[in-house]
Amino acid sequence: MLDCVAGRVPLLIEMKLTENNLLAAQTLHNVMKDYEQKYGGEFVVESFDPRFLMTLKQVAPQFLRGQLATQNSDHPEPEENRRLATCAYNYLTEPDFIAYHIADLPLEWLSKLRAEGMPVLGWTARNQEQWDRATPHCDNLIFENLKPEIR
């Protein structure tokens, strides 16, 4: 897939939960370092898992990292769900952006972070109504199966 893209467009890479964050971060670092050298392509990495983002920060501090979040995490512990929903681990992970579920927007605390300079992406717009509703609360939107009308 990376050879197909060949640096022609920026990539948004979502890392899923893994049992071995160090191995995943090292592998991603090696693959994307080769990609950068071969194609000069731009990319960012995002994950719901702050543990992975902390590990990636140590392995590849030059990579742009984003914290994915939603109000409705499937974490079984309510307190951990709240911490994940409010990006409470950002002081450790130091993400370059936050990508938040558009159905949950707007959020006062997230709007404050955005006003202070934290880029906010919204995910995932699947129709024009969702796009229009989320646009005022985000710096950019992740979308699929949609050719949005920019208004």
Q: What is the pLDDT of residues 78-125, one digit of tens each?
A: 999 999 999 999 999 999 999 999 999 999 999 999 999 999 999 999
Does residue 110 lie within any of the structural domains? yes
Please indicate, yes or no, whether residues 67 and 90 belong to a single structural domain of this protein: yes
My answer on whether 67 and 109 are in the same domain is no
Please, how many CA atoms are within 13 Å of residue 70, restricted to the half-sphere of its CB? Answer: 11
Tell me the per-residue pLDDT of 24-75, one tens digit each, with 9 for 90 and over.
Answer: 999 999 999 999 999 999 999 999 999 999 999 999 999 999 999 999 888 8
Question: Do residues 49 and 28 both lie within one domain?
Answer: yes
Domain co-membership, 88 together with 109: no
Say if residue 109 is in the same domain as residue 124.
yes
Pair 117, 71 in one domain: no
Among 35, 55, 52, 54, CA closest to 43: 35
Residue ranges making up the domain that contains 59: 7-95
Write down the H helix ranges in the chain.
Answer: 2-5, 21-39, 50-59, 78-85, 90-93, 108-115, 128-134
Residue 78 phi/psi, 5-degree rounding, is -55, -40
What pTM, to 2 d.p., does this model score? 0.94
Instruction: Kindly state whether residues 12 and 54 are assigned to the same domain.
Output: yes
pLDDT averaged over the chain?
96
Q: Which amino acid is at 100?
A: Y
What's the domain count of the chain? 2
Pair 89, 21 in one domain: yes
Name the token pair of 114: 């955005």
